[in-house]
A = this chain, B = another copy of it.
Amino acid sequence: VPPATTRSATAVLGWDIGGANTKASKVDIEDGRLSRPRALSVPLEMQRDSAALVPALRRLAAELRGGPVTHAVTMTAELSQAFRTKREGVGFVLDALAEAFPGEPVRIYGVDGRFLDPAEARDRPLEVAAANWAATARFVGRQVADCLLVDIGTTSTDIIPIVAGEPTVLGRTDPERLLSGELVYTGALRTPAEAVATAVPLWGGLCPLAAEGFALIGDAYLWLGTLEARDYSVSPPDGRPATREFAGERLARAVCADAEMLDEEAVGTIARALAEAQVSTVAGAIRRVSARHPLLGIAVVTGLGDFIAAGAASRAGLEVSSLADRIGDAARTAPAAAVAWLLADETARA
Contact = CB atoms under 8 A, between A and B. Distances in A.
A28 interface: no
Contacts of A186: 211
How many monomers of this protein are in the complex? 2
B179 A260 contact: no
A311 interface: no
B238 A211 contact: no
Contacts of A81: 212, 214, 237-239, 250, 253
A175 B261 contact: yes
A183 B256 CA distance: 11
Interface stretch (A58-66, A159-167, A191-199, A321-329): A191-199
A209 interface: yes
**Interface size, A (range):** 35 or more
Interface in A156-193: 173-175, 178-179, 183-186, 191-192
A125 to B, nearest CB: 8
A345 B93 CA distance: 62
Contact of A175 (B174, B207, B240): B207
Contacts of A79: 210, 253, 256
B259 A84 contact: yes
A184 B207 CA distance: 10
Interface in A41-97: 47, 79, 81-82, 84-87
Interface of A: 47, 79, 81-82, 84-87, 126, 130, 155, 173-175, 178-179, 183-186, 191-192, 194-195, 202-203, 205-214, 237-240, 249-250, 253, 255-261
Given A178-B255, A183-B256, A185-B212, 12 more contacts: A81-B212, A84-B240, A130-B256, A175-B202, A175-B255, A175-B256, A178-B207, A185-B210, A185-B211, A191-B211, A194-B195, A195-B211
